[in-house]
Amino acid sequence: MTKNTGIFYGIGVGTGDPEYLTLKAVRLIQQADVIAYLKSDKGVSIALHIASEWIKKQQKMAILMPYKTNRQAANKAYDTAAEKVSSYLQQGLNVAFICEGDPLFFGSYIYLHQRLSTNYHCEIVPGISSINATTALAQIPLIQQNETLAVVTSRNTDEEILDALSNYSSVVIMKAGVARPRLLALIKQSKRLNTTCYIQRAGQKGEVVIQDVSQLTGKGDYFSLFVISS
């Protein structure tokens, strides 16, 4: 780490509503020399879309990330991106990686941080995470007093999800849509269907809030979650 290298910023831009950007995110995005962001193979970047109002003259650095991929391909994309970010930092340029939600809560920033934080000065700006955005939208108290909260995903085993549903006051199941029938069966088995809410694409086009999940059938969107409250 030398004195003249740039700073690598990990900046959360929230879940979709451009007004969920923090003042700090706006300031650092505006001041950055380079804005880095993930782009799907369809050319879509949700983070760039959210922050677009504040990106004018900064240099843009798209990181192409295949949507359906094994970790090996993703790791290779992050390796290449880290090298490119590194070259900017070596030139003394500040690079801001903008990231949906919060950078350290299922955030893609984590993979770049792991590759760059040993050699470069990193600063992280938290963002509104999906659990806060969705509970605000659906007006569901998430945790209070002596309650407990578990966050799991559809990638976890039935046993892990049932443990959360059995032992925790509130449970959030992330990436729910893709495994919706299986998850609904587990929630039903835990007798918690009555206090379950399904939220899809909070703050984005295609936003859906379902308070009565017994009507849900089939798969849903990738950007979705179940909130099971106390």
Chain contacts with its own copies (rule: CB under 8 A): 12, 14, 17-24, 26-27, 102-107, 110, 113-114, 117, 122, 124-129, 131-133, 135-137, 139-146, 148-153, 155-156, 160, 163-164, 167-168
Compute CA distances 32 → 54, 60, 153, 219, whole Å.
11, 10, 34, 40
* Residue 91 or 197 with smaller CB distance to its own copies: 197
CB of 106 to its own copies, least distance (A): 6
CB of 103 to its own copies, least distance (A): 7
CB of 101 to its own copies, least distance (A): 9
Tokens for 206?
């295609």
Whole-number Å distance between alpha carbons of 219 and 2: 50
* Residue 59 or 73 with smaller CB distance to its own copies: 73
CB of 43 to its own copies, least distance (A): 25
* Residue 50 or 213 with smaller CB distance to its own copies: 50
* Residue 139 or 215 with smaller CB distance to its own copies: 139
CB of 171 to its own copies, least distance (A): 10
Tokens for 2?
């030398």
What are phi and psi for residue 228, nearest 5 degrees? Answer: -105, 115
* Residue 165 or 214 with smaller CB distance to its own copies: 165
* Residue 79 or 91 with smaller CB distance to its own copies: 79
Compute CA distances 120 → 34, 87, 111, 214, whole Å.
15, 11, 14, 50
Nearest to 213 by CA among 175, 166, 172, 181: 181
180-189 helix and 158-167 helix, angle to the nearest 10 degrees: 40
CB of 146 to its own copies, least distance (A): 4
Whole-number Å distance between alpha carbons of 112 and 51: 19
Whole-number Å distance between alpha carbons of 50 and 55: 10
